[in-house]
Amino acid sequence: MLQARALEYSYRQAGQVQPVLKGVSLQLQAGEKVALVGSSGSGKSTLLNLLGGLERPAAGDIHLDGHLFSALEEPGLTVFRRAHIGFIYQQFNLIPTLSVAENICLPLELLGVPQAVQQQQLAEWLDAVQLAGRGPDFPDQLSGGEQQRVAIARALIHAPRLVLADEPTGNLDLQTGERVLTLLFDLAQARAQTLLVVTHSQVVAERAGRQLCLQDGVLLASGSGVW
């Protein structure tokens, strides 16, 4: 469902070009769960940002379900991304001035989904991430694990085909991280969604069906896990 071919990306710093991705190609099958590992600075977040349409590759292309996603221009790119991709970040990235309910419904709001449908979906998702009754609360009233569960509901509520998670448990203690991750995998699995998770955790990486390793801007495949 996702095909990336020969992706290249560089940052320019103080007049110097710093290559970060040096011809990265990868394919994700529909419903697959894949872990992306690699040392700090190897380009994992950069790759996720390209796959999620937050940055543009300098070279190469990305197809998502047959659409040449990397060639889309604004505003079409944003519209496509909102409909088909869910993002989860290490820092949760909830909007502090919106309630839990409003944060979770944001993708539906942006897609113009009617309020009645939003409320019905919201109730289901609050249950799914074990936050029933917390809808009126604000992010700063929640623990880290609870905030990340809100972020998961927000990333999945509009049923995106592709879910990209950049170290979703990096800011959580080990036990909370494990629980949040299990929830993310279970929810994505139940909905046959494709999931690509960046992680430093070997435990997380082993849960995925397949592991990819970025090393200095080059992608290496490694053994399959147990998930």
Which residues on adjacent β-strands are paired with residue 196? 34, 164
**Smallest separation (angstroms) from Mg ion to the CB of 166:** 6
200 DSSP 8-state letter: S
Size of the site for ligand ATP (CB under 6 A): 12
Measure the CA–CA gap between 7 and 21, rounded to whole angstroms: 7
Cβ atoms within 10 A of the Cβ of 90, count? Answer: 18
Show the binding pattern over residues 21-50: x = contacts ligand ATP (CB under 6 A), - = does not: -----------------x-xxxxxxx----
Q: Give the nearer residue to ligand ATP in terms of CB position, either 20 or 88.
A: 20
**Smallest separation (angstroms) from ligand ATP to the CB of 153:** 24
Q: Give the nearer residue to ligand ATP in terms of CB position, either 131 or 181.
A: 181
Q: Give the nearer residue to ligand ATP in terms of CB position, either 92 or 125.
A: 92
**Binders of Mg ion in range 125-164 (CB under 5 A):** none
| Three-class HEC string of 50-119 | HHCCCCCCCEEEEEECCEEHHHCCCCHHHHHHHHHEEEECCCCCCCCCCCHHHHHHHHHHHCCCCHHHHH
Q: Give the nearer residue to ligand ATP in terms of CB position, either 99 or 169.
A: 169
CA nearest neighbour of 28 among 4, 52, 8? 4
Structure tokens at 31: 């419903």
Q: Which does 43 bind (CB under 5 to 8 A by kind): ligand ATP, Mg ion, none?
A: ligand ATP
* 199 touches Mg ion by CB under 5 A: no
CA nearest neighbour of 214 among 73, 16, 23? 23
Q: Give the nearer residue to ligand ATP in terms of CB position, either 11 or 110.
A: 11
**Binders of Mg ion in range 34-93 (CB under 5 A):** 44-45
Contacts of 50 (CB under 8 A, 6+ apart): 4, 7, 9, 21, 56, 57, 62, 70
Q: Which does 134 bind (CB under 5 to 8 A by kind): ligand ATP, Mg ion, none?
A: none
What is the binding site for ligand ATP (CB under 6 A)?
Answer: 11, 13, 18, 20, 38, 40-46
